[in-house]
Structure 1
Amino acid sequence: MQQEKTPNRAATPGGDGRVGLLDSLRGFAILGILLINVQSFGLLSSAFLNPKALGEPPVADYSVWLITHLLVDEKFITILTLLFGAGIVLMAERSKLEAQEFERVFRRRMLWLLGIGLAHGLLLWRGDILTSYAICAMAAVHFRNRTPWQLLKIALVLLLVPTVIAVLMTIGLHFLPPERLQEIANAHWLPSREVIRSEVALYTGPWLSTMGARALDGLTIQGWMLITERFWRVLALMLIGMALLRIGFLRGQWEPQQYRRIGLRALAIGLPLVALGVLLNEVFGWDLRYSLYLGDIANYWASALVAIGWIALLALLFQFNLLGRISLWLTAVGRLALSNYLLQTLICASLFYGFGLGLYGELDRPMLLLVVLGIWITQILLSIWYLKHFKVGPFEWAWRRASARPLFA
């Protein structure tokens, strides 16, 4: 008679004091976000925002967009952000420093991350998230001792801010003169041939001569996103991550039936809500005045539910050791999360930008999936090999060493 499997919560803590589930979730998130980020690297900016920016897409292209939008877009970056917030609490728990000294050291660490993020965003890729993480974490650390319920209430208020901004921006679009609205559409939503040629030249031309324009483009995008959405959302998700760690959800300490129930319910609510958002965009014909801001509201709210669903289901598989080798792969990638995140940029920039193969705007979404698969295999193999020889990733080591000393002696 076959013996029934029982959950193995003892496998959750890592041997070096790490929480094994968190490392697996980080690896899961880092690999998952590439499905979206590769589209930001390889597609025109308008095509990234609007799947019909260049006209009615082929069925295969739209199908890839739809599946990744439903299952991945904003979901995996949400997981990563929740884990960042949880990491703040773990750092505080393990620190032997007094509260004020811990905050001082933590701020110094985040200032270095801010520097890494700015270099990453201005020199290589306008989609950088590290800058936002550093800024929001310096605010989030002050909430680390709040109760889970207090953290959730504050997070809900913060999450409402981008929704209000989106509504106001949508109203504003309806009052713009037709010529100004057309100008915005040409630049960001339904690009003219001239805009397409200009953007392709910017990212495939000589790297040094276009650096200033690209840096300005990246700074503008990063600043606008930080003000209108990222600061509020990222900070809120960090606080939710703190709460989820405190109640044991992210530590793998819940009962299997709890994870199963939460996971299925979160996906059963979240996925139809994302699909409803897509349907409404189709009903409005992907009109700039609706889709640019209001069209993303459904995914904005549902992505947190879907992310929690993925976490719950992965925790369930982790408890019963059902992932097998995949768990080892995810853990290896997750332990080198910063290095793997930046490695994805280096590989993608080399494929799509001017100092490399210059494939920007040349590949459709199905072809980009093959690129993702190749990068996944590369990162998994490299991470496993690296951890056999070293304990800390190269960028993690450099970040730790740099932030060990005061910025200004």
Structure 2
Amino acid sequence: MMNTTKDISPVKASERFAILDILRGFALLGICMANFPEFSLYNFLPQEVKSSMSTAAADNITRWLLYIFVDGKFYTLFSLLFGIGFSIIIRNAERKGANGFRIFYRRMGLLLVIGFMHLMFIWSGDILMLYALLGMLLPLFRRMSDKGLLRWAAFFLLLPVLIDFVCEITHTSLALPFVRLQEMYCARYGINADNFAYWLRDAEDYGTVFQFLVQGAFVRMQEFIEGNRYFKVLGLFLTGFFIGRNRIYADMEEKKALLSKVFRYGLAIGLPCSFLYAWSAMGRHPLGIAMHSVFYLASVYPLGFAYAAGSGLFYLRTKNGTAWKWLAPTGRMALTNYIGQSVIGMFLFYGIGMGLGTTFGLLQTEIVVLAVFLFQMAFSAGWMSAFKFGPLEWVWRMLTYGKWLGIRN
């Protein structure tokens, strides 16, 4: 007889692969670096204000470096890890004779709820809702061959270039409905979208912030559509599923030659193209959106894959190093830390907190990021020394498996 979901439990600590937790921790650092310029309200400042800052020259260099080394690369890494995680959930459930798909869909449904709450009440830059919705499609590919997986992954990763080309030559905006909704909402409630930086910095109550978050949800949908993010993420999910199915993360010593090849080629292709991508982004797409999309394709994915492979190679050489002992706990409670970064960002920069927004240049913001991440690393190490799961991970798992799970080690 088929077991129920109550007959199985989450992966034990002894069954975890440290490299996956390390990569999650590494990805969280990059995501924080990408997101905090918006939390600090720097991204909302008018260009003339940015140019008048004493840090303007350093900020310009920092922006270039972020486009080259950060933008898109770490959500690529996070998306790969999600696909790998799906393969582990299914394998774990099948090994124990349980209904892995029931568990998976319940897990995705709960993540959808968490993402919606994050989007509407904490930060409009949420990615969890998209992950949950697209994650529900992954079981459709479970019986596909490895070649089929890679072909579909390539198709979804290449498709945005074609869509951008068609939209550019036809002067079409697929996101126009959400643009109109955001404009209507702002007009109805008297929200000046050009003044968000000072509005949020001076906000004295949560209601003001909530108004920003609601209109931001429309903007987020616009960003997903204009950036073809759903196709990109699904392609990365399938690539991660391929990696997980072939247990490359578990047999890295045997796959060392493959990792070296991915690292070398990813760096050789991705790094030069990242300079082109940064040039295009800084110049507001002088060759057009379609060409910018080509630069994105040729830079973000190869360099993101190089980060993953390079981390694996570095782990093989230094897996007993102190750095891994600090980074792995951060990745083990990735959901808590991801949401935690948003809460910290609101507290530091919005008027309902310390109100430090608009006072930092981009370089200073990234220095704050390092301080925040060091705090999260220390907190995670302390927490995981006493508990089996992060706080949000604990609740998520109990609701997923429908039973009480002890949290203390």
**After the TM superposition, which residues 349-360 of structure 1 pair with which residues of structure 2 at under 5 Å, given as runs?**
349-360=346-357
Counterpart in 1 of 2:188?
Answer: none
> What SS does structure 1 have at the residue aligned with 2:230?
helix
- Contact 1:51–1:62 (8 Å) recurs in 2: no
TM-score by length of 1: 0.82
Shift of 1:41: 1.4
- Contact 2:25–2:328 (8 Å) recurs in 1: yes
Provide the rounded CA distance (Å) in 2 between the counterparts of 1:236 and 1:199. 35
Provide the rounded CA distance (Å) in 1 between the counterparts of 2:106 and 2:319. 40
Provide the rounded CA distance (Å) in 2 between the counterparts of 1:174 and 1:404. 45
Counterpart in 1 of 2:375?
Answer: 378
- Contact 2:348–2:355 (8 Å) recurs in 1: yes
Counterpart in 1 of 2:142?
Answer: 144
Output the amino acid matched with 1:279. Answer: W
The answer to whether residue 293 in structure 2 is matched with residue 262 in structure 1 is: no
Counterpart in 2 of 1:240?
Answer: 239
Shift of 1:375: 0.9
Counterpart in 2 of 1:155?
Answer: 153
> What SS does structure 1 have at the residue aligned with 2:398?
helix
Counterpart in 1 of 2:229?
Answer: 230
Residues 171 and 344 from structure 1, CA distance in 2 versus in 1: closer, same or farther, beyond 3 angstroms?
same
Of the three residues 37, 40, 52, the one matched with 1:39 is 37
In angstroms, what is the RMSD of aligned CA positions? 3.0
- Contact 1:85–1:238 (8 Å) recurs in 2: yes
Counterpart in 2 of 1:347?
Answer: 344
Of the three residues 389, 402, 405, the one matched with 2:399 is 402
Counterpart in 2 of 1:114?
Answer: 112
> What SS does structure 2 have at the residue aligned with 1:209?
helix
My pick for the range that moved more, 242-251 or 81-90, is 242-251
Counterpart in 1 of 2:278?
Answer: 278
Counterpart in 1 of 2:91?
Answer: 93
Provide the rounded CA distance (Å) in 1 between the counterparts of 2:289 and 2:354. 31
Identity of aligned residues (%): 28
> What SS does structure 2 have at the residue aligned with 1:232?
helix
Provide the rounded CA distance (Å) in 2 between the counterparts of 1:43 and 1:297. 29
Provide the rounded CA distance (Å) in 2 between the counterparts of 1:394 and 1:19. 20
- Contact 1:170–1:294 (8 Å) recurs in 2: no
Provide the rounded CA distance (Å) in 2 between the counterparts of 1:271 and 1:301. 9
Counterpart in 2 of 1:3?
Answer: none
**After the TM superposition, which residues 3-402 of structure 1 pair with which residues of structure 2 at under 5 Å, given as runs?**
16-45=14-43, 58-96=56-94, 101-171=99-169, 195-202=193-200, 204-228=202-226, 229-251=228-250, 252-281=252-281, 285-286=283-284, 294-321=291-318, 324-402=321-399
Shift of 1:305: 0.7
- Contact 2:164–2:290 (8 Å) recurs in 1: yes
> What SS does structure 2 have at the residue aligned with 1:373?
helix
Shift of 1:324: 1.1
> What SS does structure 2 have at the residue aligned with 1:334?
helix
Shift of 1:206: 3.1
Unpaired stretches in structure 1, ≥5 consecutive residues: 1-12, 176-183, 185-193
Provide the rounded CA distance (Å) in 2 between the counterparts of 1:315 and 1:242. 17
- Contact 1:88–1:144 (8 Å) recurs in 2: no
- Contact 2:270–2:299 (8 Å) recurs in 1: yes
Output the amino acid matched with 1:68. Answer: L
TM-score by length of 2: 0.82
Aligned pair count?
372
Residues 325 and 164 from structure 1, CA distance in 2 versus in 1: closer, same or farther, beyond 3 angstroms?
same
Counterpart in 2 of 1:7?
Answer: none
